[in-house]
Structure 1
Amino acid sequence: MDKTNMSAFFKKYTMVIALILITLFFTWRTGGNMILPQNVNNLIAQNAYVFVLATGMLLCILTGGNIDLSVGSVVCFVGAIGGQLMVNKGWNPGMAMVVMLLVGIVIGVWQGFWIAYVRIPPFITTLAGMLIFRGLSNVVLNGLTLAPMPASYLALFNSYIVDVFHGNSINITCIVVGLIATVGFLAASFAGRAAKAKKGYALKPMGGFVGRCVVISAVIMVFMWRLAQYKGIPTVLIWLALIIMIYAYITSKTTIGRHFYAVGGNEKAAELSGINTNKVYFLAYANMGMLAAVAAMITIARLNSANPTAGTNYEMDAIGSCFIGGASAYGGTGTVPGVIIGATLMGVINLGMSIMGVDANWQKVVKGCVLLAAVIFDVVSKKRAK
């Protein structure tokens, strides 16, 4: 690999390398506790909301570095409504979830309208939303915590997939699912390469392609092996996998997904080429409201309660995950897999420092430094490219 290819490789996989190194560091510092099966499970459970919100935040950022400051408050408000319906009103969890989803969509549509069609800056619109929905959350809850959630509701997010093979110390179903996921990934990768070759597109060197496939396959199997040693596949992981796959497909394979990148790259050029930029902005924030509702469902299930402080600083975790994962502060650049790497990196830092007993205030300092470093790297890289 020559110097140019080496530079391109490290630039593309900077955060992947950082994630590996940080994981190894905390594994060393915690005496191996970092990668215990239970802690791998905790990494998913404690950061599930980040993966969901960061996926939606990516679409907002793609439109030009815009963000949504209201998502934490929306999570709290939607969760408060769900708590009232299920705990105080005795509603069926399925009906309550439909109402929560609709409330999130309405909030997203409301904010998307002002941003897209009235052209009020997203920062101002969502800052107002942050204050409004945090206040409404306290009104709905009357300052109280509602608990516990119905057992049937908790089972949707806090339970584990049954091991149909009835393994003893190892969850065999988890291993089988890992093998299926690995085979599916490899099949999709080689099919995609074959399709590019057929169309005459430039292909990456076979060595690098195979190496990437081997590493990702190994990560999948090691991850599933650790889960299999605890309780198996958590149900929330199924929700996350569905959301990640859907949005990875939308952003990489659909016309509307390409429109988000076009608007963020050059809004005027996108408009002149026939793209309805207002619609793109509207969809980004309407979608963010919907995913905030999904994050609210996950959050109140995780806490087994709806309380007035839920969702605090969630927007910062989502925004940080996007920028750390390679999304550009100027818009037009970023991928769902990159965001997932960023969210995982944030989760590893949180979990590692918690296991080490690092003070919560110092944890915030470290996360702030990591975020700043990621944005500096993005800005400096773009200046050098020019």
Structure 2
Amino acid sequence: MEKIGTTIKNNMRQYAMLIALVVIMIFFQIATNGVLLYPMNVTNLVLQNSYVLILAIGMTLCILTGGNIDLSVGSVCAFVGAISGTLMINMKMPMLPALLITLGIGFIIGLWQGFWIAYIRIPAFIVTLAGMLIFRGLTNTILQGLTLAPYPKEYQMISGGFIPDFLNFFGAGFNVTTIVVGVVLSLLYVFMALKKRKERAGYGFENTHFLFFIIQCVVVVGGIMLLAYWLAAYKGIPIIFVIIGTLVFGYTVFTQKTVPGRYIYAMGGNEKAAQLSGINTNKVLFFTYVNMSVLAAIAGISFSSRINSASPVAGQNFELDAIAACFIGGASAYGGVGTVIGAIIGALVMGVLNNGMSIMGVGIDMQMTIKGLVLLVAVAFDVISKRKSRT
């Protein structure tokens, strides 16, 4: 029992927000008389927050480098939306080349901002604040204050389409493919968890208590299958959900299993020490902001596809949602601490709060107040934890 208590204590930071997310969901499920977890509402929750989930992944890497943030992502989302709208709606360009050009614009923006931040060493706050103003201005210039709509049907499918039910041969009343995907993902998770545990034992590292490991597997598999059921009971797996899942998996592997990913953590932990150990911190910083702008372009595509228009006011406060998601999800304000999965959990906390309070009829002003308090508590938790670890 002592070992289990030690394990829980050591992993409290990692699981605190996950526990908070579950508690918040249970509260709103009761407060909304079960509306929160209706299958249709769960799907809408994913679709409505897709842009935050994508931005939070990139923002996590920026914060890991030393508490840096990117204030321009909302304006970049609006700008690439204006570009895609101009190309596809006004110029009638096919979707694929228009998407490639749009992503290329995001890449160029990243090169521009990354150069000033990484090589000229202008603080990221200033460079991205300038970017926020520049790209918001360019968005209004391109759109002339007007909204472009509608997009082609295939573009709308990015955030509004669903994976076909390939396995529903007998006309079942739910999406069979989604359930099968849930089972496969559950088995894959258990296999990878067992493999990781065996590898740690092989290297002589101490593993978590086996009972705690079993509980963790049951909780994760239960969560996967519950989500699969909710999605299957509506229309199945949204296309944007596949995109987000691919990004989460790819960036989790990148940050935890690759050398460049470890460089980001090393730089955030102590940049001087990282430089002395041979890490080119300029390249690390440059990469994180190029990456952030590309992900902002993807988020802009996702958002414009969902609202089916390119708007001059799109993307407002997106940067604040992404930053809040990262800090709520456990990223340290000092850098060097945080995970992609944590940022996703933080984004879901914000999304559930927004959705639950909207269903209950809570006003926008009170919603902002509550979200601000949640963010403050999350960062205070990080600061207090840091202070205690030093004493």
TM-score interval for Structure 1 and Structure 2 normalised by the shorter chain: over 0.9
Opposite residue 367 of structure 1, the aligned amino acid is: K
Number of the residue aligned with 2:289: 285
1:75-134 superposed Cα distances (whole Å, 9 cap, x missing partner): 000110000000000000111100010000100110000000000000000000000000
Aligned residue for 1:97, secondary structure, equals helix
Alignment counterpart, residue 141 of structure 1, candidates 114, 138, 143: 143
1:126 aligned to 2:116? Answer: no
1:144-176 superposed Cα distances (whole Å, 9 cap, x missing partner): 000000011112331111111234321111100
Once the two structures are superposed, the pairs formed by residues 255-270 of structure 1 within 5 Å of their partners are: 255-270=259-274
> After TM superposition, what 4+ stretches of structure 1 lie above 6 angstroms from structure 2?
none
Q: Within 1, Cα distance between the matches of 2:11 and 2:383?
A: 18
- Percent identical across equivalent pairs? 52
Q: Within 1, Cα distance between the matches of 2:55 and 2:61?
A: 10
Alignment counterpart, residue 191 of structure 1, candidates 195, 210, 231: 195
Number of the residue aligned with 1:45: 47
Number of the residue aligned with 1:17: 19
Number of the residue aligned with 1:309: 313
1:243 aligned to 2:247? Answer: yes
Aligned residue for 2:242, secondary structure, equals helix
Once the two structures are superposed, the pairs formed by residues 1-386 of structure 1 within 5 Å of their partners are: 1-2=1-2, 4-166=6-168, 167-386=171-390
Q: How far did residue 10 of structure 1 move?
A: 3.2
Opposite residue 85 of structure 2, the aligned amino acid is: G
Q: Within 1, Cα distance between the matches of 2:237 and 2:324?
A: 27
CA contact (8 A) 2:145 2:312 kept: yes
Opposite residue 381 of structure 1, the aligned amino acid is: S
Opposite residue 114 of structure 1, the aligned amino acid is: W
| TM-score of the aligned structures, taking structure 1 as reference length | 0.98
Q: How far did residue 4 of structure 1 move?
A: 4.1
Q: How far did residue 206 of structure 1 move?
A: 1.0
Aligned residue for 1:239, secondary structure, equals helix
Q: Within 2, Cα distance between the matches of 1:188 and 1:180?
A: 12
Q: How far did residue 48 of structure 1 move?
A: 0.4
Q: Within 2, Cα distance between the matches of 1:11 and 1:123?
A: 27
Opposite residue 76 of structure 2, the aligned amino acid is: V
Q: Within 2, Cα distance between the matches of 1:54 and 1:284?
A: 13
Q: Within 2, Cα distance between the matches of 1:55 and 1:9?
A: 21
Q: Within 2, Cα distance between the matches of 1:280 and 1:47?
A: 28
Q: Within 2, Cα distance between the matches of 1:156 and 1:62?
A: 30
Which segment drifts farther, 10-19 or 231-240?
Answer: 10-19
1:23-69 superposed Cα distances (whole Å, 9 cap, x missing partner): 00000100010000011001100000011000000010001000000
Change (3 A) 1:279 1:9: closer
| TM-score of the aligned structures, taking structure 2 as reference length | 0.97
Q: Within 1, Cα distance between the matches of 2:25 and 2:6?
A: 28
Q: Within 2, Cα distance between the matches of 1:169 and 1:360?
A: 37
**C-alpha root-mean-square deviation of aligned residues, in Å?**
0.9
Change (3 A) 1:157 1:12: closer
Q: Structure 1: any 5+ residue segments left out of the alignment?
A: none
Q: Structure 2: any 5+ residue segments left out of the alignment?
A: none
Q: Within 2, Cα distance between the matches of 1:150 and 1:373?
A: 43
